[in-house]
């Protein structure tokens, strides 16, 4: 089974997404901030897909996205940005920075599945 990491400072949202992922036959792993997720990556662990909340204190999802896309070992990691902001500007910025897809909070299982399909597809055709 594919492992999906969820990085979201909202524990309830992370738990809800984790339950949706289990229903879609993925193995979720939750992180409440980017730092422990980055430490796990630097230690050699790697998910099949990463879901990043954009708005988090201290280190944002955009900060982590930039960190990942600047390193060749993670350029091919499918990344979905999760946001509660309806502003197209933020979503567009994330996509320009290298995000493969995005989902709006609160996300439904159908929206999550669609965003995941888009993210995986982008890395199949590259």
| Residue 31 in tokens | 């992180």
- 120 SS3 class: helix
pLDDT per position as a tens digit, 4-25: 999 999 999 999 999 999 999 9
Strands (E), the chain: 3-7, 27-31, 49-53, 79-83, 101-104
Domain boundaries, the chain: 3-125
Fold topology of 3-125? Rossmann fold (3.40.50)
pLDDT per position as a tens digit, 20-76: 999 999 999 999 999 999 999 999 999 999 999 999 999 999 999 999 999 999 999
């Amino acid at each position: 089974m594919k492992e999906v990491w969820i990085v979201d400072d909202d524990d309830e949202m992370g738990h809800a997404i984790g339950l949706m992922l289990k229903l879609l036959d993925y193995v979720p792993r939750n992180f409440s901030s980017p730092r422990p997720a980055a430490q796990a990556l630097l230690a050699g662990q790697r998910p099949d897909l990463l879901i990043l909340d954009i708005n988090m204190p201290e280190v944002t999802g955009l900060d982590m996205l930039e960190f990942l896309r600047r390193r060749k070992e993670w350029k091919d990691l499918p990344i979905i940005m999760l946001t509660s902001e309806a502003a197209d500007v933020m979503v567009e910025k994330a996509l320009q920075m290298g995000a493969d897809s995005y989902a709006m909070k609160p996300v439904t299982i159908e929206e999550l599945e669609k965003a995941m399909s888009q993210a995986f597809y982008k890395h199949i055709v590259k």
